[in-house]
């Protein structure tokens, strides 16, 4: 009787452990499945962001407050950057201008969007920003009114679309997006990728319209 009473609980305990393990495994599997579904949905939404609203369809304002339609550059790839005048990466203006001068005739359009949200490094108004860029870096590519890149009610429609398409938003000044000629896909390049880097230049070459 003593032996029987000690072995039965052992079998019951093992059965409980097996049941618990199966329950946990089932829960983990269900959780992973749900995560997979959410990731798939997010990837689908990301792919559709620019397909539904091509970037070239946007109506914006330049640094002087004048309306500008990106449709004027329809059929041309766009290199979009969030820029600032008092940043350690501000010398990248030189590289962006060099790309503009080299590739403009082949179809590339460089667009600059000043932003004061990272370290308060673009404190001036539109006129001050334009004067700084023209005077110090000879910038001649289009510059737009100051904007916010971060998600929220004040986020620029440009960065809302680009963030949705790539899953990436700038973490600092001089993030870059290379947008396809049809405005329906984009690739993000962080500030650490300089305008003159081989990585970015190869991507630009691939995005240029055929001769």
Q: Are 70 and 55 in contact (CB under 8 A)?
A: yes
Cβ neighbours, 10 Å, residue 112: 25
**Of 45, 62, 82, 136, catalytic:** 136
Within 8 A by CB and 6+ apart from 116, the residues are 84, 122, 123, 146
Cβ neighbours, 10 Å, residue 9: 9
**Pairing mode, if any, of strands 176-179 and 78-83?**
antiparallel
- Tokens 């896909």 locate to 185
- Rounded distance between C-alpha atoms, residue 44 and residue 161, angstroms: 14
CA angle 180, 178, 86 (to 5 degrees): 150
Q: Is 125 a catalytic residue?
A: no
Q: Are 173 and 82 in contact (CB under 8 A)?
A: yes
- The residues that are catalytic are 136
């Amino acid at each position: 009787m003593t032996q029987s009473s000690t072995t039965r609980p052992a079998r019951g305990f093992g059965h409980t452990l097996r049941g618990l393990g199966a329950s946990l495994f089932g829960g983990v599997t269900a959780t992973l499945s749900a995560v997979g579904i959410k990731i798939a949905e997010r990837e689908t939404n990301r792919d559709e962001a620019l397909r539904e609203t091509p970037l070239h369809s946007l109506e914006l304002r330049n640094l002087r407050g004048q309306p500008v339609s990106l449709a004027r550059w329809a059929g041309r790839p766009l290199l979009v950057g969030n820029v600032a005048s008092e940043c350690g990466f501000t010398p990248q203006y030189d590289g962006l201008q060099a790309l503009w001068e080299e590739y403009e005739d082949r179809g590339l359009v460089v667009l600059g969007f000043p932003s004061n949200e990272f370290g308060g490094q673009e404190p001036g108004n539109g006129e001050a920003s334009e004067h700084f860029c023209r005077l110090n870096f000879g910038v001649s590519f289009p510059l737009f009114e100051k904007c916010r890149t971060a998600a929220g009610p004040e986020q620029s429609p440009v960065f809302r679309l680009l963030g949705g398409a790539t899953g990436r938003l700038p973490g600092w000044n001089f993030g870059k997006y290379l947008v396809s000629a049809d405005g329906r896909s984009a690739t993000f390049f962080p500030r650490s990728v300089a305008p003159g880097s081989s990585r970015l230049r190869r991507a630009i070459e691939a995005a240029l319209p055929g001769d």
